[in-house]
Amino acid sequence: PGYRRHCLLAGERGAGPVAATEGRERSGEPRLHHGAVVSTRHRCPPARSAVPPSPAAMAPMGIRLSPLGMAVFCLLGLGVLYHLYSGFLAGRFAFFMLSEPAAGGPETPRGSAPAGSVDLRELLAVSVLAAVRGGEEVKRVREGNVLNAKAKGKTREGAEEQLTSGDLLSNRRMFYLLKGAFPAVQINSEEHVDKADQEAVSWDRSIPEDIKQKIQPKEVPAESVTVWIDPLDATQEYTEDLRQYVTTMVCVAVNGKPVIGVIHKPFSAYTAWAMVDGGSNVKARSSYNEKTPRIIVSRSHAGKVEQVARQTFGNKTVIIPAGGAGYKVLALLDVAEKNQEEADVYIHVTYIKKWDICAGNAVLRALGGHMTTLTGEEISYTGSDGNEGGLIASINMNHKALIEKLPDLEKTSHK
C-alpha cells in the first residue's frame, strides 16, 4: 500500500523523477527515488494524461504518419463514406417514388415486375384494355359513317385490301397504350405506326378482378415477348357494314409461342381472353361433331374447301362462310352471342398474316385446342409476319386425324 501511495504522489508531482531514471530501467540497474533504491521490478505505472495521444504516437513502431498523409487518409475515408451514403439515399428515394403515387396520379403496385422482365398477368390486363379501347374507335367511325375507305393493296389472291379510319385510329390507340405500359416489348401491328400521330395513352396499372381471381403473376424476360395486334379484323366486312364479323385482337407470344389471346367484338362489347397455363373467361362447347363437322372458312374461298371437305366427310358436311379470323375462332367456343355462328373445325387454305391468327391460336391452346398448319406443324410467332402453310383449328377433337383426312388442302395453300 505504501508503494502504491508513493506512485500516486509521484504522479501528482510530475513525471520528472521517473523520466530521469528511464535510462537505468532499460539497463536493468536500480534507480534512486528521493534517495532510496527502488527496484525496477516494482516500477510505478505511468501517470495517465488528460490529453489523448496523437495518431503519430499511436502508429506502429518504426512508422510515423506525417500530417499530410493523415490529411489524405482522412479525405479518402470521407469520400468513401460520402459515396456509400449517397447511394443509400438514392436507393431510398427510388423506393419511395415507386412505392408512393404522385399527387393525382395512379398508384404503382409494389408487385410490378422488375426492369428487364414482364409480368404476363399485367400484360394480359393491358391487352384486354387495348382491345376494348381500339374497339371504341372502330365503333365510333362505323356509326359515324366516316370510314374514309381506300385501297392499300391486293392480297395474293388478287382481292383488294381496304384501309379505313377505323383501322388507323384503333391501331394508334392500341399500339401506344401497349407501348406506354411496356416500352421494352416488341409490338407487331397490321397497320403502320406514324410517330407524328403519337398520343399519350396511359394505363393506371389496375388489373380487373376476374383476371386477378384466375391468373397468378408470372414474370418472363422482356426480350422473349412479342405482341401481335390486329386493330380491325375483317376490314372488308366492316366496309360492308357486316358488323358481327368485326373484332379487335391482341396476342402475346413468348419465345414464339402464343400464350395470351384477347378477341374483342366492338359492336356487342363481348371480350374473350385466355392465358396458357393460367385461366380464361371463355370455354369450349360441351360437344363437337367429328363425323360430319361444320367447317367454318373464309368468305373469299369457301368453294375451294367445300369440294375437298365433302369428298372427305360426305355430302352432309356443312360449310360456313364467314369473315374475320377472330370470329371463326369464337365459332369453335361456347360464346353466348346472338350473331355468333357455331362450327366444329376452322380451315384456312391460303396465306394469312400472323396478327390475324395469333390471338385465336393462344385462346385455343389455353383451352386445350389446336391451331396448326395444314400439315400439322405448330405456327411460330417470330420472324416473318406471314404464315404460308394455311391452318386448321379444332378443340376437343382428334386434331391429328383431321389432318390425315385432309391431305390435299396443303397443296391448295400455296396457290
Does the active-site annotation cover 167? yes
For cell 512508422, the residue is 63
Residue 24 burial (C-beta neighbours within 10 Å; 0-12, 13-18, 19+): middle
Give the single-character DSSP code of 262: E
User: Residue 256: CA atoms inside 13 Å, Cβ hemisphere, count?
Assistant: 7
**Catalytic site residue from 119, 164, 167, 271:** 167
Q: Is 190 annotated as a binding residue?
A: yes
Cα 187-189-192 angle, rounded to 5 deg: 115
CA distance 323 to 21: 114
Q: Is 240 annotated as a binding residue?
A: no
DSSP calls for 57-101: HHSPTT----HHHHHHHHHHHHHHHHHHHHHHHHHHHHHHHHHSP
Please, are residues 44 and 25 in contact by the beta-carbon 8 Å criterion?
A: no
Q: Is 233 annotated as a binding residue?
A: yes
**Catalytic site residue from 164, 235, 350, 373:** 235
Q: Is 204 annotated as a binding residue?
A: no
CA distance 54 to 71: 14
Q: Distances from the Cα of 59 to the Cαs of 22, 69, 77, 107, in angstroms?
A: 22, 12, 18, 57
CA distance 228 to 251: 5
Task: Read off the C-alpha cell for 150.
Answer: 381506300
Among 13, 242, 264, 277, smallest CA distance to 135 is for 264
Q: How far apart are the first and last CA of the chain?
A: 119
Among 245, 238, 12, smallest CA distance to 137 is for 238
For cell 438514392, the residue is 90
Among 358, 124, 325, smallest CA distance to 228 is for 358
Longest dimension (CA), the chain: 139
Does the active-site annotation cover 317? no
Specify binding-site residues: 190, 230, 232-233, 356
The catalytic site residues sit at 167, 235
Specify binding-site residues for Mg(2+): 190, 230, 232-233, 356
